Amino acid sequence: MAEKICVAVRVRPSISEESPSGTFWKIEDNRISLHKLHGTPISGLSYAFDHVFDESCSNSKVYELLTKDVIHAAVDGFNGTAFAYGQTSSGKTYTMNGSLNDPGIIHRAVNDVFQKIQMISDREFLIRVSYMEIYNEEINDLFAVENQKLPIHESLERGIFVAGLREEIVNNAEQVIKLLESGEVNRHFGETNMNARSSRSHTIFRMVIESKGIDTGSGDYSSSDAIRVSILNLVDLAGSERIAKTGAGGVRLKEGKYINKSLMVLGNVINKLSNGAKQRAHIPYRDSKLTRILQTALGGNAKTSIICTVAPEEVHVEETKGTLQFASRAKRITNCAQVNEILTDAALLKRQQLEIEDLRRKLQGSRSEVLEQEILKLRNDMLKYELEREKLEMELEEERRSHKEREQRIRDQQLKIENLSSLVSDGDRSSSQDSMKESPKDECNDFKTPCFKETSNNAFVAKRSNYSELPDFSPLPDSFSNVADEDTWFKMNKGYIADLDSLQTTPARKVQSFPPQDITPDCSNDNYKLELQNLKTQLELVIKEKVELQRKHEEEVQINSRLMGEICELKQELDLSNNSLESSKQRYGNLEREFQKLKEERDSLLQTVSESSKNITFLTDQKENILKDLNCEVQRRKDLEVEIKQFSVAFASRQRSLASIHGEFKSKIEKLRAENLVRY
Ligand code: ADP
Ligand code: MG
């Protein structure tokens, strides 16, 4: 059924002594409005809510009027959420946690839940609690300090949940209060400025209430019954003030940014939801941890109440307006709460049912207190095993993933090394042979480094093959023929030869030093000189070229050695990766072994439980036999008594008859004696 979120505003008592100088907030029934000092209301700044609580209102009243229904509905199987929103020091924590004299919503809710379930005799309940904090967009477990940065997971069975979060099964309110206190201690752990932290973090206290109808006829539990599972979130949000006002910087800015992120997304979610059904398809729940966890509470299957706390002081007017606007938007949200009944194994109550029943049978006759304690212990043990297993599975999954990643990285590196090696060996080949492919003899304008060649017979010469076929360029004088001065080349080239043709094809080196072929023979001397000059210039060019080539070669050698260095480094990295792969394999193995051990432990525990149950059955049998024997004995005794009675009756009658015989006898003797006396 669609219903609106219940929204209330609570004004805390004023802290400052100063009396207002310009405006003040006035509360009338369920309306709060900003008034000018002399009483006239300021238009547009009057807001109505389900409740407006003034500074004299107690936590008890807030609970009764705003939250109680949500809590009772949670016991009946509806998801429920109550959260406190407002700027720092406006009274959120006071409302949620309360004081010694006036406990807050959390304490009252916990007490109420246990009181209510005690009055429901036809259902069996299983309640577990968890306590988490979202700080810098990281989820930390307040019941177990080691559980930090927990991820949010989603599964078909469990919906959205915080993986690895410690849950404690509880039987009474006192246990929960103790746990909450230990959670607070954990929150303080290593914290120097608790106020700063608490105003920047969100805390979520969560109760999961499972219940199941008891088949009152036989006291048996029929396994087909649906189990109700409801989640109750009690949330103390981070301060909603804008960071600009607090002047946060540096680390605080980072914290502020995250807090803003969660609260900003909460604001966005509430905005979108308040705009009605049209925009519901694009609610950005996933943009922050807070909204993800509270997803069902906002516009979903849950009963939700929001208490917006405000400070009455004039300096806070802007923040108060902001809070009231947030509250007004929240007021427009409709939720659709329904009882959550499930038939699958997702309910813990169902998963634990067999074991609990087993234990119950075994402990029959024990005092109910002992029984309850034993059951609670077993339940918590089983839950811990489950959570431990879940955690291990997650770790295994994570390990598998990073294992895969590492393998991929190693493969990549190997590929890289192979590539580099082939590059280096190519380079080596080219430098050892001092050869590269001949530059094509086309007329392209690219500047191409001419190549060195080693002739097959180790003769170091400079060739000008086919020179005459290149009419564009200066022909060599006959005396040079096709071969230059070998010594000179040898000295200059240090054993290398240059393909001068390719030098010639280099456009920059095109030398048109010779006059055209048809020059007159008279000028041959001059021409000869000119040609010589040209040749010299060419020679210089070639030498320059040679130097350039040498420089290039050196560069290449340097590159090669750098590449070799890189390969070495990569090899080292590879070795390191291999090592870490090895160690992660070991860790993986260890985890598997641990997992195995835990399984074995659990099996052996189950084994002991079943053995002790056998013992109990054996003892019960013995007792029954003894009772039977005893009954037989009693019966026999009764029979004997009857016999004895009969015997004594017979005995008495016999005695009587003997006595009468004796009397007769005596009288007869008397008679005989008398007769004898008469005779003699
Ligand atoms: P928040 O959690 O919003 O930062 P607190 O709950 O810590 O604010 O409140 C700030 C101070 O005001 C605390 O000292 C608290 O005891 C006090 N306070 C807040 N609301 C009330 C109230 N309704 N009645 C009495 N004291 C209050
Ligand atoms: Mg607080």
239 assigned binding-site residue: no
Structure tokens at 363: 């402990």
**Residue 524, helix vs strand vs coil:** helix
Q: With a threshold of 0.85, does the pTM exceed it?
A: no
Q: Spell 331-343 as b/e; 16+ CB within 10 A means b.
A: bebebebeebeee
87 assigned binding-site residue: yes
In whole angstroms, what is the distance from residue 153 CA to residue 387 CA? 14
In whole angstroms, what is the distance from residue 502 CA to residue 485 CA? 19
**Phi, psi at 494, each rounded to 5°:** 50, 45
The rounded radius of gyration (Å) of the Cα atoms in the chain is 50
Ligand 1, from 9, 54, 58, 89: best to mutate by most atoms within 8 Å of Cβ?
89
Ligand 1 atom 19, closest CA: 91
Nearest to 260 by CA among 239, 279, 278: 239
For residue 246, pLDDT beyond 60: no
Shortest-distance ligand to the CA of residue 184: 2
Judge contact between 396 and 589, C-beta under 8 A: no
Atom of ligand 1 nearest to the CA of 84: 3
Strands (E), 303-457: 303-310, 334-336, 341-342, 452-453
118 assigned binding-site residue: no
Distance, CA of 46 to chain centre: 43
pLDDT in tens, 317-356: 999 999 999 999 999 888 888 888 877 777 787 777 777 7
Give distance in angstroms: CA of 263 to centre of ligand 1. Answer: 20
Band of the pLDDT at 627, cuts 50, 70, 90?
Answer: very high
**Residue 67, helix vs strand vs coil:** helix
Structure tokens at 618: 């054996």
Let me know if domain 3-214+222-343 sits in CATH 3.30.1020.10: no
488 assigned binding-site residue: no
In the prediction, which pLDDT does 520 show? Answer: 45
80-86 vs 227-236, strand pairing mode: parallel
Residues surrounding ion ligand 2 at CB below 5 Å = 92-93, 198
Give distance in angstroms: CA of 179 to centre of ligand 2. Answer: 19
299 assigned binding-site residue: no
Could you tell me the residue ranges of all domains in the chain? 3-214+222-343
Strands (E), 452-579: 452-453, 497-498
pLDDT in tens, 90-141: 999 999 999 999 999 999 999 999 999 999 999 999 999 999 999 989 999 9
Q: How many other C-beta atoms lie within 10 A of the C-beta of residue 658?
A: 11
Band of the pLDDT at 528, cuts 50, 70, 90?
Answer: confident
Ligand 1 atom 17, closest CA: 91
For residue 192, pLDDT beyond 90: no
Ligand 1 atom 23, closest CA: 12
Strands (E), 78-122: 80-86
**Residue 610, helix vs strand vs coil:** helix
pLDDT in tens, 18-43: 777 889 999 999 999 999 988 888 98
Pocket of ligand 1 (CB under 6 A): 12-13, 86, 88-94, 199, 239, 309
192 assigned binding-site residue: no
Give distance in angstroms: CA of 67 to centre of ligand 1. Answer: 19
Q: What is the dihedral sign for C-alpha 529, 533, 538, 544?
A: positive
Residue whose entry in the numeric block shows the structure tokens 């006291």 = 219
Give distance in angstroms: CA of 20 to centre of ligand 2. Answer: 25
Give distance in angstroms: CA of 59 to centre of ligand 1. Answer: 11
377 assigned binding-site residue: no
In the prediction, which pLDDT does 39 show? Answer: 80
**Phi, psi at 667, each rounded to 5°:** -65, -35
Q: How many other C-beta atoms lie within 10 A of the C-beta of residue 563?
A: 15
**Residue 228, helix vs strand vs coil:** strand
Residue whose entry in the numeric block shows the structure tokens 């003899």 = 441
Atom of ligand 1 nearest to the CA of 96: 6
Give distance in angstroms: CA of 23 to centre of ligand 1. Answer: 22
Ligand 1, from 94, 240, 263: best to mutate by most atoms within 8 Å of Cβ?
94
Helix-strand-coil split of the chain, %, nearest 5: 55, 15, 25
Lowest model confidence (mean pLDDT) among 475-484, 554-563, 647-656: 475-484
Q: Give helix then strand counts, H and E, for the chain.
A: 15, 19
Helices (H), 189-310: 194-200, 243-246, 250-274, 289-293
End-to-end CA distance of the chain: 132
CA angle 228, 208, 276 (to 5 degrees): 80
Atom of ligand 1 nearest to the CA of 15: 12
Atom of ligand 1 nearest to the CA of 199: 4
In the prediction, which pLDDT does 621 show? Answer: 92
Shortest-distance ligand to the CA of residue 307: 1
Q: How many other C-beta atoms lie within 10 A of the C-beta of residue 367?
A: 9
In the prediction, which pLDDT does 256 show? Answer: 52
Lowest model confidence (mean pLDDT) among 49-63, 186-200, 418-432: 418-432
In the prediction, which pLDDT does 541 show? Answer: 82
